């Protein structure tokens, strides 16, 4: 499958193309599916870093369509990893629902850089949802001893069963039901974060929600709470339909 103009742009930006092979899949909840892959040699070539993601190419009405997904439990020695799909309508979810061992899919690695803050944070504030769950878990795995408060927006009752990798000694989870297109999450964070943030100079804020919510929260954290830009990492993971 050709990758169209997006593929050309990614090539110009030094994107590297790979082909992954499905080795298995499992239903985590009725709205969340994990698919296992061999990596086509990618990890041995590129190495691994926290929240590492890759662009997967799907066919959508005869045209190429790419979506970004965070690697789950990448193992460079074995050449394996998994991807997790928050299921909804769309070509990516349709593909994930049907994925079977032996299926192959094309991918491009480009633009995935993330570095652990230096110096290490004294506290993490993490704001996300099922789409960013793999990245949240990757971040918590990379900084296991750092106290963290996590706001996790949920859209379905089954989201309460999603596998957040929490340590009760270091992590506080706040589940927030999705209401008013994400505005409820914004209000909850605005109410709680100033008191939690206090005057912690080493706090780090990580935001990955839908694009509108991410933009609102990033503006609030940067402009109203005056958190320095190097202590904030924000990325809109999806756009509401």
Sorted by where each begins, the domain ranges of the chain are 4-109, 123-234
Helices within 143-232 (DSSP H only)? 183-197, 211-219
**What spatial distance separates the first Cα and last Cα of the chain, rounded to whole Å?**
26
E strand residue ranges, the chain: 16-29, 32-38, 53-60, 63-70, 72-75, 80-86, 104-109, 123-128, 148-154, 171-177, 203-208, 232-234
Each residue of 27-60: pLDDT tens digit?
999 999 999 999 999 999 989 999 999 999 999 9
Count of helix runs (H) and strand runs (E) in the chain:
6, 12
Q: Can you list the pairs that 15-19 forms with residues at least 24 positions away whose Cβ atoms lie under 8 Å?
A: 15/55, 15/108, 15/109, 15/110, 15/111, 16/42, 16/45, 16/46, 16/108, 16/109, 16/110, 17/106, 17/107, 17/108, 18/42, 18/54, 18/106, 18/107, 18/108, 18/109, 19/104, 19/105, 19/106, 19/107
* Separation between Cα atoms, residue 218 and residue 216, nearest integer Å: 6
CATH architecture of 4-109: Beta Barrel (2.40)
What is the pLDDT at residue 217? Answer: 98
pLDDT band with cut points at 50, 70 and 90 for residue 144: very high
Predicted confidence (pLDDT) at residue 67 exceeds the cutoff of 70: yes
**Sequence-distant (≥ 6) Cβ neighbours of residue 10 within 8 angstroms:** 3, 55, 108, 110
Q: How far apart are CA 33 and CA 37, in angstroms?
A: 13
pLDDT digits (tens, 9 = 90+) for 68-79: 999 999 999 999
Q: Which residues pair with 175 in a beta bridge?
A: 152
- Residue-level pLDDT at 241: 63
pTM above 0.75, yes or no: yes
- Half-sphere exposure for 136 (CA within 13 Å, toward CB): 27
DSSP secondary structure code for residue 224 in this structure: I
pLDDT of residue 111: 66
pLDDT in tens, 101-120: 999 999 999 766 788 888 89
Mean pLDDT, rounded, for 181-201: 94
Structure tokens at 106: 């094309």
CATH dotted code for 123-234:
3.40.50.80
């Amino acid at each position: 499958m050709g990758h169209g103009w997006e593929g050309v742009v990614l090539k110009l930006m030094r994107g590297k193309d790979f082909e992954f092979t499905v080795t298995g899949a499992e239903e985590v909840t009725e709205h969340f599916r994990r698919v296992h892959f061999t990596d086509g040699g990618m990890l041995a070539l590129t190495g691994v870093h926290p929240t590492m993601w890759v662009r997967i190419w799907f066919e959508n009405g005869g045209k190429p369509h790419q979506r970004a997904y965070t690697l789950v439990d990448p193992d460079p020695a074995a050449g394996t990893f998994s991807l997790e799909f928050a299921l909804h309508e769309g070509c990516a979810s349709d593909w994930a629902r049907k994925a079977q061992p032996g299926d192959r899919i094309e991918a491009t690695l480009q633009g995935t850089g993330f570095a652990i803050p230096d110096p290490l944070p004294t506290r993490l504030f993490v704001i996300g949802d099922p789409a960013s769950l793999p990245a949240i878990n990757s971040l918590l795995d990379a900084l296991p001893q750092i106290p963290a408060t996590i706001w996790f927006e949920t859209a379905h009752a089954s989201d309460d069963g999603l596998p957040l990798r929490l340590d009760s000694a270091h992590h506080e989870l706040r589940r927030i039901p999705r209401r008013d297109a994400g505005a409820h999450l914004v209000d909850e964070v605005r109410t709680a974060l100033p008191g939690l943030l206090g005057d912690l100079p080493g706090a780090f804020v990580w935001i990955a929600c839908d694009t509108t919510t991410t933009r609102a929260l990033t503006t609030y954290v940067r402009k109203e709470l005056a958190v320095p830009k190097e202590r904030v990492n924000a990325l809109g993971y999806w756009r509401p339909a």
